[in-house]
Every structure is written in structure tokens, then in C-alpha cells.
Structure 1
Amino acid sequence: MEASKVRGRDNFTALKVDTKKYLETTDDLWEEIRPSGKHPSRRSYHSASVWQNRMYIYGGQDLREGPQRGLWELQLAPTRWEEDKWVEIPTENHGPLCRHTSIVKDNDMYIFGGTDGINEYNTTLIFNFVDQTWSTIAPEHQSCPPPLDSHSAALYEDGENSYMVIFGGYLSGDRSNETYTLNLKTDKWSHIPLSSPAPEPRANHACAIYGDYFYIFGGSNEEGEKLNDFWKLDLKSNIWQQVNAQGEAPTGRSGHSAVVFKEFMIIFGGVKDITRETNDMYSYNFEGNNWICFQGEQQVKDPVTSEQLEEYKKSKASPTYPKSKNDCNSPTRSPTLPKYKKDCSSPTRSPARRQTINISPQGDHSPIRRKTLYDGPATPIAGRIKGNAPHARDGHSAVMVNNIMIIFGGDRHQMPFNDVYAYTLLDHVVTTPLISN
């Protein structure tokens, strides 16, 4: 068989296998979405929810600018991609907020906790999408969670009752491992007593609901260590159990995301250590109890170069302009971008905007001073760039729209993003492990 390239752990390695079809159904599943209109400012540790196939972003933080405020709606056009657009929702101002959580039930979005950078909160904000009005649940009940941030939340539906399940997070500087539920029918909180054994206190972990179980993965403990333990809480018996799964589990991380796709939990990104964010992806099969890593870490180049922008303008101006085999047939699409050589720099973590030293195209270590992190829309292109994967990041959000996972924001080396990516989840992809070098 003719030699071709397959996905390796960190890069592409030549092997004597025919993987053309395999590549077309994995790496090409990413799309960068360039919506039109004014964009939300760069942010991480915001909340993201979906209502009627639209994504809503609330709050967040920029370490230079501080916690953010406001509610944004991302409208995704199903066929005319140049019509994807952001819209800021004009609503009552509740001030800046970050590191909170949100869920959606029917026409209401429930936001709990978070911090404005000085105070932590345990008020529940409720936004009605139809009336576009706010209401609140004051923390009066003795079973209400204390003020928390960097916790997790998920929607649990049990017959006629629905609950917001809250776990962990920061409590006055310390980490928590307590669980609370909000009955969305009665607006009453309940505290679930800890069983033994139970997860250790943590923050910035990820959670998911599947059946009658509430799952948590990873986060950081009281010593700041990145965890990769996996637990589930039986919401019928209120008993915790550590999940000992087969396969290749994700390495320890915090600030990652989790979504549920059919019988799978999909983990994306997070930070493994200082300056060690990742953009790898894992699937956990709830039914088969096994982990699979189906995307390794990828180094990502800035989305669009000036040369590609000129090519794009020419293709838009002339319907007869010749297209390469990598160009998309639709003039509303942006050109496909080339693969990027791995960045071997290791800059120190700093909240300030930074310059990095990258490997030159020739492969030597001569310094090239340029900004490499994506700082919002760098070009006036509106549309989608097929095959573009997101930078490594933590503090981002991930939501599901049908079988599409939408990634927004986050930060890398404390440089926040406001970019949007879509990944099409397919059964045979999330169940296919990476091929080792």
C-alpha cells in the first residue's frame, strides 16, 4: 500500500496504510465559524447555554479587563454560513460575573453563583428567552449552596421534576466537594449529604448527566494538582462511586469541557500545568465503561494569513478565479488553511499580551517575533473555515447543537479568545482510538 499520513499522538507520522478516508472523517470535522457583526469581547470562564439551536454566552473574565457582563446570542445559519452572526441581547444589567454556571429548562436559563472578582454569589438568576426578562431566587433557604465559583452544574430530569445539580467549586478560597440540587418546579434547594467514599474537594472540573447518574471528571484539588479521577453520583440513592474505566483516560486537567453525545461523554481541552493547555479530545462510553482518545494535541496556526485573505478576495470577486483542490466550492467559505509546524516555545504564564518565539518554516530555532494567539476576528471574512481546529485552551465553553459541538472562548497562557469552532461528532470517530507512533 502507498505510504500516507495518519493521526499520531503529537503530529503526523508516515505509515504504510491507506488512511485517506480516515483523515477525511476526522481532521476535517472541525470548522472555524466567523460570524458577522460585533463580537463579544475576549473572555474565559463564562457560561454557555443552548435554546432553540442558538448558543447564549453570559459573563466571563478577561484577566486584564476583569469580569465581563452582558448576554450574547450566536445565531447559526443552517445553509448560508456568511449569515452566522452574534447579537448582544439588550437586557437588565446584573453587573459583571464570571466562573458561574448555567443550564436551560424549557424557556428559562438558570445561572448560579460566580464572582465579580471581589465577591462570590449564591443567588440564582433566571432569564426567560421568550419575554427576555430576568427573575431571581434569593439564597434564603438553609439548604441553599453557599456562595461558590468555579463549580459545575447540569440539568437532571426525573419524571415530572427537573433539577439543577451543583457540585464543588471555590468556597471562600477553599475547594468544596458538596452537592446541591435546585428543584426547578418549586424553586427549592436541597443538600445531598456526602457518602463515603466521595470525591475530594475540587474546582474547575467538568460534569455530565447520563441516566440517573451525575458524573464529574478532573479539576484541581486543594494543593492545585490537576486531577484525572472519575466519579459518578447515583441521584436516586445519593451514593458516590469512583468509576474505574477501561481504555486511555484523559490526563489530569482543569478548565476543560464536557458534553454528552448519545451514549458518550466528550472531553475537550483544559490545562494540564502552567502554560500546558491542550486541545485533545476523549470520549467515555457510558454503556461500555471505556475511554478513548480520538484527537491528540494539535499546534494551531493563526486562522487566516494576509496572503490567504487576498486569495479569498480574488475568489469572491471573480467566479472564474481558479481554485486549488483545498479550496471550498462555495464562495461563502474561507480557504482551507495549511497544517502548522509544532510550536516548541515555552513562554512563562503572564496575564499580559505576549509575543512568542516560534520555529521557523525551515525547522531551525531562529526567532520569529510575531503574535501567534488568535485575538478575535483578524480579518473581515465572514463564513466558515473547514478543517480549522481550535488552539489549546482552558476556561472555554462547549455546548451541543444537534450532533455539533460548539466551542467558544477560553484562554491560553492567560490570553483570552472570543473565537467559535464547531466539531461534527460521529459515532465511528469518537470510538476510534489514535494510532500510536
Structure 2
Amino acid sequence: MYEFRPFELTQCQYKKYGKSSIGRGINCIPKARSGHRCVANESDLFSFGGYNPDIDTKLLPELLKFNFLTKKWSIVFSSNSEEMPKESVSNALTLKDNCLVLYGGTGFPFGEKRSNETYLIWPYGFRKIEKLPTRGDRPEELYGQSILVRGHYLYVLGGTSGHDFTCDIHRLNLNTRTWELLYQSNENIRDDPKGRYRQEIAYDDDYIYIFGGGTQDTSFDMDRIPVYNFHQNRFTFIPTKPDLAIKENGGYPEARRFHSCVQQPGDNGIEVIIAGGSKQDGLYFDDIWKFNLSTHQWQLLTKSKLPYVLYFHDAAAVGNGLMYIFGGVTTNTRDVVRKNDLHKIWTQIPKLTEICWEAVTFYHPNIVDQSKEQLLSVGIPRKFADRITHGRNSGAIF
């Protein structure tokens, strides 16, 4: 029987294709991995890249797709695909309409080969990977950066060469394909944030918010958050509000890196959800926190936690309150283990229509085989019919 369970982390069960499923992608159960990147829309989760020392190649230069309705993984682009980047660990990835924007990354050994290339990846329709020819003041070849697309600009923040760490901000005009150095961070002469990698970011109309990250031997706190002001082109720091019901660490999340972070629209503004991560002294986390960009309030989700400590995983927000968490590294006193588990959690109470749709797909799993016309004819709202037929258009073109 269907039951809506908000704030409860559940593991997604994978299914396999039948023999007749030709043309729907190459069915797969994903290899365990770390250092990959994930994004999602309302129909699919995409995972790019990753690392697993137990396989011959160690690297996983591929794009995978998990469909939320069929509960099946497929390979969108394999390691043999034309223009597939070879630097497939600690990239930065975001989604613009139906187009994935991929930047940076490293190969193995980490830091020996690094990238400052930008790729557009269309996973639907004609399916294509395009490496953008760019000019101007290109960023240094780094990995562990953060990116976002705002208007027709791609912003790139932070990263490392393996030895040096930065908090510089570069911007790529996606129309003219021209780079510019927007802000050069210098903590020695200004109150700028320290250089870092594997930080996570969120943003609104005014600011980029930086959550954690670290260097080789440091993880950064989150009681005072660096923010970049788009309008003033400068960094400041904002104090945050602790969860007063939590005694540990003063009610703030512990300093961390290698965590995951997503942002979702909420009833009281944009909510940021942070999960897992690790600290440089061998401390690993299984906690999940919320942060409100308007009130600057932290909240520990006390009824929700990861099934095990987890770092070097990634997460993606659907936009309706759902968050998915995939892969990563877990550890106990003896072993370090990479995972291929996928979990989901409702991080807020969604609209009633979303709950109803989840119930419909629970009781009618074969609904995915219906055409859009059939779905509309029986009263399925267009919004949800579009999710089933999602991806038949080619996506965004900059």
C-alpha cells in the first residue's frame, strides 16, 4: 500500500530492461564510484564520471541516466563516445533546461592531468557532446570547482591544482564563448575566503553562498559563510543562526568537505540541503542539514540521516522537494568501500498533486508505456504527462 513518507530516506530499487527494450539505452547496474557529479530534472537523474580503484581503468568516463518512473539505469554516453572528456573525477556539473554543462575535472593520478574545458551535453533527442571553443582570460586547469549558470553566463568558483587552492571567480559568456576573470581572491590583503576545493554552493538573485570545502589538511566551518555579491563584485561573510535544539558544535554543522548540497524552492524562500561529508581528521558524517537563504537559519533533520557515513558522493534536487543521493565512499574501522546505492528523500512537504502523482505511479507502474495522447485522454494533467514523455526534444542551445 502506498504511503507518503516525508523526511524519510529510502533506497531506490533498480530494475532491468527486458530483451525487447531496444532503443531505450543500454541497460546497466552502475559500478560503485566516488568523485562523480549528479544533476536531475523531474524525469531523470544523470550521473557523470567517477572513480573506483577496484576496476582496471580506475576512471569511469561515462554519463548514466536513472529514470524515476521505470527505476532503470541506462548508459547515455560510454567511455568510447566521441568527445567524452577523459578527466572524469571532481568535475563541476549543472543543468540548464535539458542541457548538461560540464566543466573542469581531473584524471588519475589525481591532479596530474587537469581540465579547464567546458562541455555541453545533450542527453535527449540527437544526443551530442560538444566541447566549446573558448577564448579570453581562461581559468587555470583545476579540479574540484563549483559552477552555476546565471542568464547567459557560466560562473566558475574555486578549485585546486592538487597543491594550490583558489577562490577566484571566472565567468564565461556562453553566447560569445569569451572568458573573463571576474574576481581574483586575495586573503592576504582583503577579507576574502581562503582558497578551497570540493566546496558546495547555492545562489539567489544577489549572492553565491559557499558551504564548506577544504584544502589538503583543512575543512572550513559553516557558522560564518562566505558570500559573493553579484552586483558589487566582492566577497563578504554572513553569520548564520544555529539550530538551538542541537548541542553539538553549538548547533552548527561540523566543518566539512566532500559533502553534497542541493537547493530547492521552499515556502519560506530557497532551502539548501547538505548531506554527509568528511573532516580532515578522519571524522565522517551521516547527517542531513537544511539552511534557509533568507533567514540564514540552520536546521538538523533529526529524523533523517544517511544509512552510513558517506563522502565523495553527490546529490541532485528534482525541484519539487525530492532529493536523490548517489554513490560515494563509506568507511568503518577497517575498510573503505565505494557504493552504487541511490537514495531519495522528500526534504519538504510538496504540493498535493505531487503526492497524488507518486501514488498513481506506485499503483500503475506501466503508465510509463503510454503515449502522451493516451495519458491526456484519461485525465492525466499535462505537467505529469510531460514527465513521462520528457526528453523527446533536444534541449537548450546557447
TM-score normalised to structure 1 length:
0.65
C-alpha change, 1:275 and 1:64, in structure 2 (3 Å) is: farther
Higher relative contact order (CA 8 A, sep 6+): 1
Question: What code does the residue aligned with 2:107 have?
Answer: D
1:219 aligns with 2:213: yes
1:231 paired residue number? 226
Q: Which amino acid aligns with 1:113?
A: G
Any idea what the Cα deviations from partners look like across 1:129-173, whole Å, max 9, x if unmatched?
3321111124x52421111111212232xxxx3322211111252
Query: Structure 1 unaligned runs (5+)?
Result: 1-23, 78-82, 299-388, 429-437
Whole-angstrom CA distance in 2 between matches of 1:86 and 1:49: 14
Change (3 A) 1:96 1:149: closer
Which whole-Å deviations, capped at 9, do the CAs of 1:48-68 have from their partners, x for residues lacking one? Answer: 122453111111111343221
Q: Which residue of 1 aligns with 2:330?
A: 412
State the alpha-carbon separation in 2 of the partners of residues 52 and 132 from structure 1: 19
Alignment of structure 1 residues 188-199 onto 2, 5 Å? 188-194=178-184, 196-199=190-193
User: Relative to structure 1, is the Cα distance of residues 34 and 54 closer, same or farther in structure 2, using a 3 angstrom cutoff?
Assistant: same
Give the one of 64, 86, 93 matched to 1:95. Answer: 86
* Aligned mates of 1:287, 1:56 — CA distance in 2: 29
Give the letter for the 1:88 counterpart.
Answer: I
Give the residue type in structure 2 aligned to 1:33.
C
Instruction: Quote the residue 1:257 is aligned against.
Output: 260
Distance 1:96 1:246 in 2: 38
Any idea what the Cα deviations from partners look like across 1:184-206, whole Å, max 9, x if unmatched? 23322221223632110111111
**Aligned amino acid, residue 163 of structure 1:** Y
Q: 1:221 to 1:96 in 2, by over 3 A?
A: closer
Q: Counterparts of 2:170 and 2:339 in 1: how far apart (Å)?
A: 31
Contact 2:121/2:129 (<8 A) preserved: yes
Number of aligned residue pairs: give it. 304
| 1:307 corresponding residue in structure 2 | none
Distance 2:194 2:301 in 1: 28
Tell me the SS of whatever aligns to 2:102: strand
C-alpha separation in 2, matches of 1:422 and 1:210: 25
In the TM superposition, what are the counterparts of 1:12-161 in structure 2 within 5 Å?
Answer: 29-37=8-16, 38-51=28-41, 53-65=43-55, 66-77=58-69, 83-90=70-77, 91-92=81-82, 93-95=84-86, 97-117=88-108, 118-129=112-123, 130-138=125-133, 141-156=135-150, 161=151
8 Å CA contact retained: 1:103, 1:164:
no
Q: What amino acid sits opposite 1:256 in the alignment? A: H
State whether residues 74 and 87 of structure 1, in contact with CA within 8 Å, keep that contact through their aligned partners in structure 2.
yes
CA RMSD, 1 decimal: 2.3
Q: CA deviation at 1:47?
A: 1.4
CA distance in 2, matches of 1:52, 1:424: 13
CA distance in 2, matches of 1:53, 1:25: 20
Q: 1:185 to 1:150 in 2, by over 3 A?
A: same
Match of 1:267 among 270, 274, 292: 274
Within 5 Å, which residues of 2 pair with 1:421-432?
Answer: 421-426=343-348
Give 1:205's aligned residue.
199
Distance (whole Å) between structure 2 residues aligned to residue 123 and residue 409 of structure 1:
25
- On the 8 A contact 2:309/2:330 being kept in 1, the answer is yes
8 Å contact kept, 1:100–1:114: yes
Measure, in 1, the Cα distance between the counterparts of 2:326 and 2:146: 17
CA distance, structure 1, for counterparts of residue 90 and residue 128 of structure 2: 22
Task: Tell me if the contact between 2:65 and 2:76 (Cα under 8 Å) persists in the aligned partners.
Answer: yes
CA contact (8 A) 2:9 2:304 kept: no
- Equivalents in 2 of 1:87, 1:276: separation in Å? 34
TM-score using structure 2 length: 0.71
For residue 34 of structure 1, report the CA deviation from its aligned partner: 1.3
Mapped to 1, the partners of 2:91 and 2:114 lie a distance apart of 9
Decide which structure has the larger Cα Rg and report it.
1
Give how far 1:271 is off. Answer: 0.7
Q: Is 1:393 aligned to 2:396, yes or no?
A: no
Instruction: Give, in whole Å, the separation in 2 of the partners of 1:57 and 1:225.
Output: 26
1:174 and 2:164 aligned: yes
2:238 counterpart residue number = 243
Residue 297 of structure 1 deviates from its aligned partner by 8.3
DSSP-derived class of the 1:178 partner: strand
Instruction: Tell me, yes or no, if the aligned pair for 1:221 and 1:227 is still in contact at 8 Å.
Output: no
Go from structure 1 to structure 2 and tell me whether the alpha carbon gap of 1:412 and 1:183 turns closer, same or farther (over 3 Å shift).
same
> How far apart are 1:274 and its partner, in Å?
4.6
Distance in 2 of aligned mates of 1:284 and 1:52: 23
Q: Distance in 1 between matches of 2:216 and 2:135?
A: 28
